[in-house]
Amino acid sequence: MVELYVNDIENALKNKSYFSALAMSLALPDICGAAEYPNETSTAKRYMGWYNKYLGEDMSDDRGNPYLSGEIVYNLRNTFLHAGSPNIDSNKVKDEANQLDRFILILGDGTKILCTTLFIDTPIVKLRTMIVDVTYLCKTICDRSLWYYKNNTNKFHFDFSIDTQDHFFSGEVKLPSGDPIIEALNQKLEQSGDTRRFLESQDHTTVDVITGDFNYIFSNEELKQKYLNGEEIKLVRTMPPTDTPVITSNTESTVKKESAPKKKTASPSKKKTKPDKREAQVRSFFGQHFKEKKYKQKKEIIIQAILKSKTKQQVNNALMKSFASEETGVIYKRLSPLLASLPGK
């Protein structure tokens, strides 16, 4: 993972995006320090401890001159990332030998200056100035961070889900660790004490479904424009996978996604463009009686529980898969007018 960050920093430097490169470079000792000292709770101790251990000797000299110590770089990290100023707050530097009067950052390519300290010492006034080239600083931190990462990979535990746009929509997405959405859902169930779990499909992942939806939207010029304009789009599947949640959003625009093109019949005037009477009744009832946000977020789960069930018990069982027992009781009671025609108690 550190290689990706270093590549981004190098690209930023090539394009003279110096502040972007500096921001990411100053974060690398944070990342490496957390790996080196996982039990240390102080960010400052982790940062300066790692920097001084792996970079300090390279930056210092034997004459006791001010240098880019862990304290100086951590100070720069704080003022730049937290206050937007690529400078040093000398009042917060405890090492007297490194207390500077001026810190000057050079936005250059590191070919004319690296790092130097200027002293002005007169009977009237004294001034200590450090001049640092941003490319030199970034590359020095990058080189040592990358070396450390490659030699201590087992200490790093990144929790991330990233992919490139081209690869994500290529249909070649491979997820060796399983379906990340299903994993996240099951983790939440475990944290809540619920013993139920979502099962992963052997044929596809939730990412596959999302990718398919986006490919479908971008293959239709009208839908594509709506999406790019920020309008919400609702896709209604004719045969949704039984183990994959139906992805919907509240909108008046409904687009029917066919699993396969149908042959034209002799009666083209009988095209089905509206939901059937029962579905319309259920959706209207839901809109009137389930106005809370927590129910709107699970709108399709509740609606499909009614439409797909043939008995009252089946409705209750379907709701139990997504709601706690007490919540299921509240929803079931509110639905009772719709369930009157179903058999069972």
Q: How far apart are CA 140 and CA 25, in angstroms?
A: 9
Q: Are 196 and 186 in contact (CB under 8 A)?
A: no
Looking at residue 64, what is its pLDDT? 64
The pLDDT value given to residue 76? 84
**112-116, 215-219, 307-311: which has the minimum mean pLDDT?**
112-116
Q: Which of 207-211, 264-268, 333-337 has the lowest mean pLDDT?
A: 264-268
Chain centroid to CA 131: 37
CA distance 102 to 117: 10
User: In this predicted structure, what is the pLDDT of residue 83?
Assistant: 77
pLDDT of the residue at 80: 82
Report pLDDT for 267.
47
The upper half-sphere exposure of residue 330, i.e. CA atoms within 13 Å in the direction of its Cβ, equals 10
pLDDT in tens, 221-272: 888 887 777 777 776 655 444 444 443 333 344 444 444 444 445 444 444 4
Q: Rounded to an integer, what distance in angstroms lies between the CA atom of residue 33 and that of residue 27?
A: 10
Of 84, 87, 90, 96, the C-alpha closest to 132 is 87
Q: Give the N- to C-terminal CA distance of the chain in Å, as an integer.
A: 56
Judged against a pLDDT cut of 60, whether residue 149 lies above it is answered with yes
Mean pLDDT of the chain: 75
In terms of pLDDT, which residue wins out, 345 or 49?
A: 49
CB atoms within 10 A of CB 105: 19
pLDDT in tens, 65-89: 777 777 888 888 888 888 777 766 6
Give the residue among 66, 43, 48 at the shortest CA–CA distance from 126: 66
In angstroms, what is the C-alpha Rg of the chain?
A: 30
Average pLDDT of the residues in 2-19:
87
The two three-digit tokens of residue 104, written as one number: 């000057």
pLDDT digits (tens, 9 = 90+) for 296-319: 888 888 888 888 888 888 888 888
Whole-Å CA distances, 17 to 10, 142, 187, 283: 10, 16, 40, 52
- Would you place residue 205 in the very low, low, confident or very high pLDDT band (cuts 50, 70, 90)? low
Q: What is the pLDDT of residue 242?
A: 46
Q: What is the mean pLDDT of residues 162-185?
A: 64
Query: Could you tell me what percent of the chain has a pLDDT over 90?
Result: 0
Give phi and psi for 236, each to the nearest 5.
-105, 115
Round to whole Å and give the CA distance between 256 and 211. 17
Which residues, 6+ apart, have CB-to-CB distance to 9 below 8 Å? 21, 24, 25, 138, 142
Provide, rounded to the nearest whole percent, the portion of the chain with pLDDT above 70.
69
* DSSP notation for 99-151: --SEEEEE-S-SSS--EEEEEEE-SS-EEEEEEEEHHHHHHHHHHHHHHHHHH
pLDDT at 91 over 80: no
In this prediction, residue 220 has a pLDDT band, given cuts at 50, 70 and 90, of confident
Supply 331's token pair. Answer: 């929803």
Q: Residues with Cβ < 8 Å from 76, sequence gap 6 or more? A: 26, 86, 87, 88, 103
**Tens digits of per-residue pLDDT, 284-296?**
888 888 888 888 8
Q: How confident is the model at residue 327 (pLDDT cuts 50, 70, 90)?
A: confident
